[in-house]
Amino acid sequence: MSYEKRTKASGRLFERAKKVIPGGICHNLRYFAPYPFYVDRARGAYVWDVDGNRYIDFWMGHYAHILGHRDEEVVEKVSSCIRERGYHFGLVNRDEVKLAELVVELVPSAEQVRFCSSGTEAAMYAVRLARAYTGKRVVLKVAGGWHGASTDLSFGVSCPFDEQETLGLPEGVEKQVRLIPFNDWEGTLKVIDEVGEDVACAIVEPVVGVGGFIPASRKYLLNLKEELESRGAILIFDEVITGFRISLGGYQKVVGVYPHLTVLGKVLGGGFPIGAVAGKREILELGSWERKKSERVLVGGGTFSCNPVSMVAGITVLERLKDMEGEVYPKIDSLGEMLRKGVEEIGREFGVPVVTTGFGSLFAVHVLKEEGRSLRSPEDVCTYTYWEMRDKEFRRFLAQNGVCMIHAGGAVSYAHKEDDVESTLFVVRRFFEGWKR
């Protein structure tokens, strides 16, 4: 059955939405042509749309749900918090202390942490803290890295990276942000040398998300950290996606490179809104009320920061991950590997140059324009693959056949089963059977 026939109620909702919401949606990634399906409910590895269709979901709430949708223990703890204690106080509460203790215990480089309500805010504060701490101005940002749409970081997000990303920025801000090529030490050093002594920090997703979850090499990260330190600058890891997902201690624990600051979000909130900056005490303390205004970094926090619902959900998920570490990570990583391998086999079967990237539970599918290219950065993905097909024909075909992926990839959760991966590979096979360029 065609996508439009399966999703009539979604089509009607989109028509209504377009009248009152620009373009009909509130997050650009959620659109695909002809219109996105509207979700009614979710559980485990699945979402159901308003027409009753079920999808195997690899988007998992922007990769926030490591245990799957509507985890029973999270539902129970959050419901009891709402029923018996409240859902937003705007005052300090015991749960924020507990979650902060867990972050400091689990994230190797975290001596302290400060919570806010989104990864975007956390990345914005991290960069501000870096400038204040170093007394320098220029932020190095990976070409293809995504840290939310704050003014400082709205550069070089989508292909082609050297094109203006957004209107509406204040004049001159572009001089204070420079793009560096991911996993390319020579190219990165060239940019650092050009900026000279004014580098404040580099902000890097150590497994870069939008490019397809490509991990940075240990050597690249070590070189970067050493060079920054030698210039009085700091290294920020954005582990909003990878934190608590690649391992309990994030990618930094796996790669053994420890940044000065780490930006966190997603899994940390147990499925509810959250962001956090963690790291060295002497940097984070710049944001403390204890300092006088002229010596302080303004870290706003936000109305909903540390709301008990996000805190309770975050504690529940992190504690479950701690208890089931030996079960959760091997399972999600091996399902991720099964998907990656399975998709590449399908490519070989039909003579299509399909490759996958990813790490652990994170995976992405690409079709190469030229066989044999390796993909080591978002720039490689832009240059050597048919990247536009990911959110066009691929996404639509999958949706029509009951699978939800964005950017032709996603995150496996603990709720997924081998059956879900097999069913997904069955759909992917049908897509590539008919592939032509």
Ligand X SMILES: Cc1ncc(COP(=O)(O)O)c(C=O)c1O
Interaction site with ligand X (CB under 6 A): 62, 118-120, 123, 146-148, 205, 209, 238, 240-241, 265, 275
Angle at 183 between CA 30 and CA 261, to 5 degrees: 75
CB of 216 to ligand X, least distance (A): 13
**Among the listed residues 25, 9, 6, the one whose alpha carbon sits nearest the alpha carbon of residue 17:** 25
Separation between Cα atoms, residue 317 and residue 301, nearest integer Å:
22
Nearer to ligand X, 154 or 356 (CB): 154
Return the closest-CA partner of residue 44 out of 28, 67, 21. Answer: 67
Q: How far is the CB of 183 from ligand X (least distance, A)?
A: 16
**CA angle, 19 as apex, 14 and 23 as ends, to 5°?**
65
Closest CB to ligand X among residues 3, 359: 359
Q: In angstroms, give the least distance from the CB of 349 to ligand X.
A: 33
Instruction: Name which of 195 and 203 has its Cβ closer to ligand X.
Output: 203
With vertex at residue 360, the alpha carbon angle to CA 354 and CA 361, rounded to the nearest 5 degrees, is 80
Indicate the residue whose CB is closest to ligand X: 119
Helix axes 308-323, 325-350, angle to 10 degrees: 80
Q: Toward ligand X, which CB reaches closer, 205 or 337? A: 205
CB of 68 to ligand X, least distance (A): 19
Q: Minimum distance between the CB of residue 410 and ligand X, rounded to whole angstroms?
A: 13
- The residue count of the chain comes to 437
Question: Which residue's CB is nearer to ligand X, number 366 or number 407?
Answer: 407
3-state secondary structure at position 264:
strand
Q: How far is the CB of 64 from ligand X (least distance, A)?
A: 8
Q: Which H or E element spans position 200?
A: strand 199-204
* CB closer to ligand X, 28 vs 80: 28
Please identify, using beta-carbon distances, which residue of 148 and 215 lies nearer to ligand X. Answer: 148
Cα Dmax for the chain: 66
- DSSP state letter for 385: B
Cα 255 from Cα 269, distance rounded (Å): 24
Question: Which lies closer to ligand X via its Cβ, residue 259 or residue 275?
Answer: 275
CA distance 96 to 276: 11
Q: Which is nearer to ligand X, 152 or 205 (CB)?
A: 205
228 vs 236: CA distance, rounded Å: 11
Helix (H) / strand (E) containing 16: helix 8-20
**Could you tell me the smallest distance in angstroms from the CB atom of residue 343 to ligand X?**
22
User: In the bound complex, what is the minimum distance in angstroms from residue 125's beta carbon to ligand X?
Assistant: 12
Provide the b/e sequence for 390-411 (b: ≥16 CB within 10 Å): bbebbbbbbbbbebbbbbbbbb
- Output the smallest distance, CB 305 to ligand X, in A: 13
Q: Which residues lie across from 262 on neighbouring strands?
A: 237, 278
